[in-house]
Amino acid sequence: TKPSGDNNAIGLIGGTLTVDQLDAMLNTMPMEVTFVDHEDINRYFNDGEKVFKRPTTAIGRDVYSCHPPK
């Protein structure tokens, strides 16, 4: 579920962005952005072309579950 960015300011070292602004910025970067947290859980990937397609069902799942054994 995408939160509304109007009331969701995110304070960063370099400034403050709304959720919508951050989402737009990440989705217009000409590169893949993927974040896996310290527990190896898929937390984020941006929209756009990918080398490997990522289903939204991967979010919140263990990164190793995304790569089945050969």
Q: What is the pLDDT of residues 12-34, one digit of tens each?
A: 999 999 999 999 999 999 999 99
Kindly state the DSSP code that residue 17 receives in the 8-state scheme: E
CA atoms of 30 and 32, how far apart (whole Å) = 7
pTM to 2 decimal places: 0.72
What confidence tier does 2 reach under pLDDT thresholds 50, 70, 90?
Answer: low
What angle (nearest 5°) sits at the alpha carbon of residue 67, between those of residues 65 and 68?
A: 85
Instruction: Please tell me the least confidently modeled range out of 17-21, 39-43, 63-67.
Output: 63-67
Instruction: Please tell me the least confidently modeled range out of 16-25, 31-40, 51-60.
Output: 51-60
